[in-house]
Structure 1
């Protein structure tokens, strides 16, 4: 009788495990669908402002287009890494720009949460809090940190999407023009579509000062569409990655060492009046020793 009583429990256990594995497979398939060659349209518009300044000027609406290659860099059991490369200029002689990178980690518990002024607070979350979730970690062009957040992929009514809200630095289109706010609270939605994917954003522009309550300055809508095209159109970008992937593996390795210290992180914006990506994009930085030294010079001890 005892053996018969155990059977339903075993069946239930296997069923739950099987469903979890099936769900995780759906998640990984959705994430990897963001790889390939895409025609991208970037759209941003400031929608509402809450400034007390009567002379406040909102950011101009921005629309831009480009061809982007999303290269699968890692495809492990609990980690998927995708490197984005912009292919610009004449199709006959294109120029390749190393763009952002996104890493997806399953049930990740270690976080670097942006807190303004080029600082990230290290946060360790309990396993129960991230069960079944994927962390998206987004990196700058030099593989330094940008923002990250953990949420569950949803597959329902023929849709696959992931939504999260997290603090982030000012986007590149803003930080050279705006100094009246220092935090972008990013509402990110990544949705897989029949012809590619969409990065849908509802962002808040926030002023954060120590000892004060965050002040909302304005809100912004972002809507970036990635329309899949034949991979052959991004051949130049794919070829560039073949030639340069070893160098950037060294860069990622050094950053992994920095993140592995599991403590709050603060970075210099410039060293000897030069941005980090300016160093790393140079042909002078191809060996581990030089790469490690320059990245370490930006880490504030």
Structure 2
């Protein structure tokens, strides 16, 4: 398998995006209010821009991924996990569990975001965002009331000759689900997280989301509902750091505050985000600058094969990533509040972890003791 270092760097920098992002507009361009007398140009068929029908549609063309991936074949029949979820006689707890386990699979994943409101003067919405990739979601652990799902990008590209290049595997984000979790790691802004008791945890599942390097990103709790054949989890309000698609072009806010809805479908799942854009200042004052709506759609595919490539990568590197996860578990257990450095010695955390994982993947003989020491020392270097 080809070196994944450059792809890992690219994909991690782009957050939940598999492909290269076009050059963003300069902030000064985005900040310019539209001319008062300018009428919107009529949109061609299919050119309507959701939420902004009276803006010139050409100014609202989506930014995001531009590299072409290989063709995919979508699953047409219901997944086995969907059928298991709809077996009769299941109690609420087992329905919840099966809904979470149904999130695993191989998917074409699309990420679609649109600002819906501005809350400051002279507001002009940024261009909508759209990107997609192919992603494998595997069950790392299932201990009844705890389920861990590992996402990994498995990418096939089309080159200039139209030939398929791949697979390229990159470990992506992770989500851990805990039943009736008594406390959450809540993002405070400024790369700081604080342990907070869960509000009314009875019957709730927490979803803890971790970065590509397994450092914490955000966590929230909510309840699953199963009514009329629809299984959906709705979170309480959660703050989180800005995603790449935002912090690469925005400097006017530093926290995304919102809710998540995850709905299981016969051939995948849909994640809907309702986010508020919030500036939290060091003196504690707060200013909302806007709102956005996001839809992440996971559609099961039957080809290309994602699982085989992921399993081959994971067989060689899982020991190291387990060390990383367990080191973070210890850190979160011992600290009520923690802050992270953005870089150490000129490098970001994911760069160091991915370089080590690549070395392990190529090594002829594993060295578990050295890998554990590397994981622990690396993470400690990034803690304030």
TM over 0.5: yes
Deviates more, 1:26-35 or 1:256-265: 256-265
Question: Secondary structure in 2 aligned to 1:68?
Answer: strand
2:182 maps to 1:93 = no
Distance (Å, rounded) in 2 between the aligned partners of 1:277 and 1:155: 38
Q: What is the deviation of 1:110?
A: 2.2
Match of 1:163 in 2: 234
Question: Secondary structure in 2 aligned to 1:239?
Answer: helix
Deviates more, 1:266-275 or 1:88-97: 88-97
Q: 8 Å contact 1:168–1:185 — kept in the other structure? A: yes
Q: What is the deviation of 1:176?
A: 2.3
Match of 1:10 in 2: none
Q: 8 Å contact 2:118–2:124 — kept in the other structure? A: no
Q: 8 Å contact 1:36–1:231 — kept in the other structure? A: no
Q: What is the deviation of 1:172?
A: 1.8
Q: What is the deviation of 1:232?
A: 6.3
Q: 1:53-108 deviations in whole A, cap 9, x for unaligned?
A: x3x55332111111100011010021100010011233552211211100000111
**Which structure 1 segments of 5+ residues have no match?**
1-20
Q: What is the deviation of 1:231?
A: 7.3
Q: 1:124-165 deviations in whole A, cap 9, x for unaligned?
A: 347xx2011100000011111111111111111110011112
Question: Secondary structure in 2 aligned to 1:229?
Answer: strand
Distance (Å, rounded) in 1 between the aligned partners of 2:268 and 2:223: 20
CA RMSD of aligned residues (A): 1.9
Distance (Å, rounded) in 1 between the aligned partners of 2:252 and 2:305: 40
Match of 1:61 in 2: 128
Q: 1:176-204 deviations in whole A, cap 9, x for unaligned?
A: 22121011013210000111100011111
Match of 2:352 in 1: 279
2:134 maps to 1:41 = no
Q: 8 Å contact 2:97–2:144 — kept in the other structure? A: no
Match of 1:51 in 2: 120
Distance (Å, rounded) in 1 between the aligned partners of 2:218 and 2:266: 28
Match of 2:192 in 1: 119
Q: How many equivalent residue pairs?
A: 277
Match of 2:270 in 1: 198
Deviates more, 1:157-166 or 1:237-246: 237-246
Distance (Å, rounded) in 2 between the aligned partners of 1:190 and 1:156: 14
Match of 2:383 in 1: 299
Distance (Å, rounded) in 2 between the aligned partners of 1:92 and 1:212: 50
Counterparts of residues 1-301 of structure 1 (less than 5 Å): 22-52=91-121, 54=122, 56-90=123-157, 91-125=164-198, 129-164=200-235, 165-230=237-302, 233-234=305-306, 235-283=308-356, 287-300=371-384
Q: 1:200-232 deviations in whole A, cap 9, x for unaligned?
A: 111111111144442110111100110112276
Match of 2:34 in 1: none
Higher strand share: 1
Question: Secondary structure in 2 aligned to 1:295?
Answer: helix
Distance (Å, rounded) in 2 between the aligned partners of 1:231 and 1:189: 27
Question: Secondary structure in 1 aligned to 2:305?
Answer: helix
- Change in 2 beyond 3 A, CA 1:231/1:155: farther
